[in-house]
Amino acid sequence: MKTATAFLVVAALAGCSSGGLYPDTDVVEPANMKLLVATGLQMSGGLLQSGVLEYEGDGDLNAVFRAYIEGMKAQKWAHAASEVKGDKATGTLRKDSRSCSLAFTSINGKIRAVITVALQK
């Protein structure tokens, strides 16, 4: 029961627009998207220090991208930059010594999201 309650609290803190957190991290998973691959993950103290998460799902690119940024902001990531042009959306968020680069693309309503976390240089 405690696990279920903790999950609900984390989901609420992540914001209604997000899909929850990648397990044991402070990185939001895009809502209604399936994780395709996670590569190069390096963790430290419950934080994803570096790695690439790739997701796929359906929806409106602009809405999914904006909701993702809002979910990350709810996790105290600072929005540094973003741009949506046609079928591509890119952005950067920062938190402590990490940066998170976003590359979302859409083809016929199918969205692919590549989320790259790295230590800032």
**pLDDT for 18:** 59
CB 100 within 8 A of CB 115: yes
Interhelix angle 2-14/61-74, nearest 10 degrees: 120
Predicted local confidence at residue 92, as pLDDT: 98
Q: How many residues does the chain have?
A: 121
- Mean of pLDDT values over 33-62: 96
What pLDDT is attached to residue 105?
A: 98
pLDDT range class, residue 46, cuts 50, 70, 90: confident
Q: CB-based contacts of 62: which residues, under 8 Å, 6+ apart?
A: 84, 89
Distance of alpha carbon 31 from alpha carbon 44, whole angstroms: 25
Q: Across residues 37-41, what is the average pLDDT? A: 97
Q: Can you tell me whether residue 50 is helix, strand or coil?
A: strand
Q: How far is CA 101 from the centre of its chain?
A: 9
**Which domains are assigned to the chain?**
2-119 (3.30.310)
Q: How far apart are CA 67 and CA 83, in angstroms?
A: 14
Average pLDDT over residues 10-22: 54
d(CA 53, CA 103) in angstroms, rounded, equals 11
Q: Once rounded to an integer, what is the mean pLDDT over residues 3-14?
A: 36
Local confidence band at 88 (pLDDT 50, 70, 90 cut-offs): very high
